[in-house]
Chains A and B, each alone.
Chain A
């Protein structure tokens, strides 16, 4: 799951996969913006079938939080 998420996140944020690790705070990545946030939401929906309210999504900070989100689905 972690591998697949990191790959999808890298694609959504147009980043090199090797620069993303589970402890990373994805919101602090240089490529994370109000525009690429849409790509992350789109990726969670289409790749993992995740439907999440923004107030829940806003609590997620690290790549590991995203992995937990898709694992608990």
Chain B
């Protein structure tokens, strides 16, 4: 069973960076009229989101967040023995972006670096890998960088996805210490649903060609995208999430043996406000302990969980806090984690 538990390892600090360019969704009427997009925006709850310019990558957002974290926490770069970069918008197909960040952040060449290519659940996967490697010993500090430029992935001419996604990057410092006590993870995958959220071309199954980059009308509603842009079947994903996410939530709570009332905050992947509202109601979670950022940053894929922590829990994490994380999306993959924070440092959000 895919249930993990760790002792004496935890997140000591978090920082985030977002592009300075704000997209006001209600005014984002490049291809659709305002009346039509209002209906979509009211349902998904994304009033604003951030878009990078074409020269800025996920790694640049993560770099800014990491620099801020390292400087504010006064971290010795020589003590960072592990760097994990989580993204589905890397700089290149090769080499791995994590290796480039090792050099940019002036970390020692003895640093272990690799990328994790997963979507909305990936922060949990990345944390579990960092926790595992720290538990194996000798690693002093781990940097988990998680960045996305979803603005470069989805067509703005496709109503199904054109108003939902935004960009952001975070840096988390993970360390050992008895004060972190126990944390628990449940991680899951279902590849039979791979087509529900997908960029079908541009990889090695269907390589990039003139045909794959050509924009096409894809449905009776006149939505337009290319095969190298993202597709999402919202209803199927929604239907899966409202069933499986609560199930995994209950499973992990049971495994951990902690009461729901002992959890200070519940941080969900910010999918859209309709899904998030439904999950919170179904799980009977109090609004004040279920912070959201969907209205101001949109869906930033794997970044949304840590970005919501940085944005909404700054100043609220003094002392010992227990938080539950829930991520779900492309793959499909999904997971739940219960982690302990102890005076976790939260940096201010840097604009790039």
Contact = CB atoms under 8 A, between A and B. Distances in A.
Interface of A: 34-35, 37-38, 41-42, 45-46, 51-54, 57
B235 A41 contact: yes
Given A41-B239, A52-B239, 11 more contacts: A37-B235, A38-B234, A38-B235, A42-B238, A42-B242, A42-B278, A45-B242, A45-B282, A46-B278, A54-B236, A57-B239
Contacts of B235: 34, 37-38, 41, 54
Nearest to A33: B39
Q: Helix, strand, loop or mixed for chain A's interface?
A: helix
A38 B281 contact: no
Interface of B: 39-40, 43, 160, 234-236, 238-239, 242-243, 274, 278, 281-282
A38 B40 contact: no
Contacts of B278: 42, 46
Contacts of B238: 38, 41-42
A46 B160 contact: no
B282 A38 contact: no
Given A38-B274, A45-B282, A46-B282, A54 B239 contact: yes
A45 B239 CA distance: 9
Contacts of A37: 235
A42 B235 CA distance: 10
A37 B243 CA distance: 16
Nearest to B196: A54
The 4 closest A-B pairs by CB, nearest first: A54-B236, A37-B235, A51-B243, A38-B238
20 contacts: A34-B160, A34-B234, A34-B235, A35-B39, A35-B40, A35-B43, A37-B235, A38-B43, A38-B234, A38-B235, A41-B238, A41-B239, A41-B242, A42-B238, A45-B242, A46-B278, A51-B243, A54-B235, A54-B236, A54-B239
